[in-house]
Amino acid sequence: MFHVTEDDGELYAVRRFDEIADLDAFDHHLLWCEECQRQMVWTEQYLRMLRTALLEMKSTVGQATSPTPAPGPQLPTALLPRK
């Protein structure tokens, strides 16, 4: 059974559709396969997190390096350590 590959999922998430080997099959599969829909949601969240982390890294260049925030519920800003 054909499932969306992780690579194709990432390409789809960043809208590089022309690099997906079989976009028609991909689209049709996504329409009905809940497993791959869930996978796509995760991929998009992961990429968004990655992008946010990269932006934060850029904006904190020159300051002390802080570890990448762990995925999970957001802490209220009041609980975050002040810089």
Tell which positions 28-57 bind Zn ion, by CB under 5 A: 33, 35-36
Tell which positions 59-78 bind Zn ion, by CB under 5 A: none
**Nearest approach, Cβ of residue 19 and Zn ion (Å):** 19
CB–CB of 20/12 below 8 Å? yes
Q: What is d(CA 24, CA 4) in angstroms, rounded to the nearest whole number?
A: 12
Could you tell me the two tokens for 54?
Answer: 């990269």
One-letter amino acid of 22? D
Residue 3 makes contact with Zn ion by CB under 5 A: yes
For Zn ion, give the closer residue by CB, 3 or 16: 3
Q: What is d(CA 52, CA 60) in angstroms, rounded to the nearest whole number?
A: 12
For Zn ion, give the closer residue by CB, 3 or 51: 3
Residues of this chain that interact with Zn ion (CB under 5 A) are 3, 33, 35-36
